[in-house]
Structure 1
């Protein structure tokens, strides 16, 4: 019986995935994108038009709700379970406030409320939450936990962060850059820091939108080899550039966007002393920006430490970190609306 149930769930998800990928190029393409019922574990699984559609819906909701003051209860009667193995300000607040603003009911679950794989197996948790909620967002230590949740659940699973990817952060980054530059195609982004989950998600998405990527990491802190191989394939497929360096100033050369993140993620506290030593010289300053493009800007997913970027850059007009943080809300709203409804944006298609 259980085997039959799993077969049915995966057959359904496969059909939804195939249907969503049957698209044609042009204006009608984005209008016909169907993400309903899809899980969102990694941007690797999403094609350019699907990513553009999520951003379009996000921008539409921001315009209609924030700027026009409309009330859009698109998620009325819907509930989301939010599993947090790792604490967060932006992921929790953006999801709770965004889902509620659309008329839905967010349910926050800490390790004290739900201890995945300890008090109850991940398999059983997935099945129980599938019967009680419409969608699950999980912020976990291991990406395999997300994959197991997705395997056993009959509702969509959103990756709120894992050790391998942080795709919802990248949606906010992309919307922020689109708002600032007016278009994404042709931009060059420089990542200066650790080869972590945020970088992995940039590597799985930027080429699909025509964005070049330059990466600087200290030796021993390079991005995952499999992710790098896929990123090189995507860069070749979409005609963009991907370069890797060990010197920050080389990576920043001619870049439109300088990006960094924490050097010490949760669970790496014991490595702090070594990491601070290894990342010496990687702080982003105005000197770093002096070799970038004249219109360069700065992104950081927060929280930020002064060793990663100095105050002069972080609080300068070039810094987009606070609009970026706000866009976490609009993009998680856009994503959940895409997954749970048949909503069509009312504003013109974004120039991406």
Structure 2
């Protein structure tokens, strides 16, 4: 069964730890792994699709793929038929025959879900309107490097929290076993479905959730 990474909770707590452990190893020895080198029958091209403009996400994905022995195929907005003359499902069926992975920075989460449902190769969410899971892996790695652990720590988010970053802080944080505190004004807090998903994961990991309008 093909695994996709569309939302932070697509990784369990142990899988998230495994990813972060590997990330630490690769920071020490960036060229020590060659996942996309295309040995045997493997394929090494990764489609990296950008509906939204980007600097850091584009460069980091392209560099990471190259450092792992792969070739990033960058497809910018307006450079394909995706969502215009060809459906998302048709695009997935075309790409899966030519690339090993699909990375997509887009708008609607539903588009990513449709792409994943039609694709036999992994689809990775490089940002959507609802979630930014790869950014959170990077943030959690930084926290772990400075604090030495994640589980049991408290992480606070202040401000406009009706967005993809607050959603991912909630879900990724509790997946790590953290106590996540979200403070924002009325009308700018995470949707209840996100809070419910975070609470469900927190029960499994020992984390906790607090949503409040009180910054104190």
Query: TM (normalized to structure 1)?
Result: 0.57
Larger radius of gyration between Structure 1 and Structure 2: 1
TM-aligned CA deviation for residue 60 of structure 1: 1.0
| TM alignment of 1:282-301, pairs within 5 A | none
The answer on 1:136 being equivalent to 2:102 is yes
State yes or no: 1:225 paired with 2:186.
no
Shift of the alpha carbon at 1:119? 2.3
* 2:22 is equivalent to residue 57 of structure 1: yes
Deviation at 1:220, TM superposition (A): 0.5
- Report what 2:37 is aligned to: 76
Give, in angstroms, the shift of residue 210 of structure 1.
2.0
Residue 73 (structure 1) shift: 3.2
Q: Give 3-state SS (helix, strand or coil) of 1:158's partner.
A: strand
Pick closer, same or farther for the CA change 1:242–1:73 going to 2, 3 Å. closer
Can you give the 5+ residue segments of structure 2 that lack an aligned partner in the other structure? 39-43
Of residues 134, 138, 163, the one that matches 1:172 is: 138
When residues 146 and 109 of structure 1 are mapped into structure 2, their CA distance, relative to the original with a 3 A threshold, is: same
- Structure 1, residues 107-138: CA drift from partner, whole Å, max 9, x if none? 00011212421121111111111011000000
Gaps of 5+ in 1: 1-12, 14-36, 251-352
- Which residue of the partner structure matches residue 178 of structure 2? 211
Q: Alignment partner for residue 119 of structure 1, among 80, 85, 101?
A: 85
> In the superposition, relative to structure 1, how do residues 221 and 156 fare at CA in structure 2: closer, same or farther (>3 Å)?
same
Match of 1:106 in 2: 72
Greater strand share, structure number? 2
Partner of 2:155: 189
Bigger proportion of residues as helix: 1
Write the distance in 2 (CA, Å) between the matches of 1:187 and 1:231. Answer: 16
8 Å contact 2:4–2:10 — kept in the other structure? Answer: no
Displacement of 1:61 in angstroms is 1.1
RMSD: 1.5
> Which residue matches 1:157?
123
- Kindly state the Cα deviation for residue 232 of structure 1 after the two structures are TM-superposed: 2.0
**SS in structure 1 at match of 2:197:** helix
Q: What CA distance in whole angstroms lies between the structure 2 residues aligned with 1:176 and 1:110? A: 29
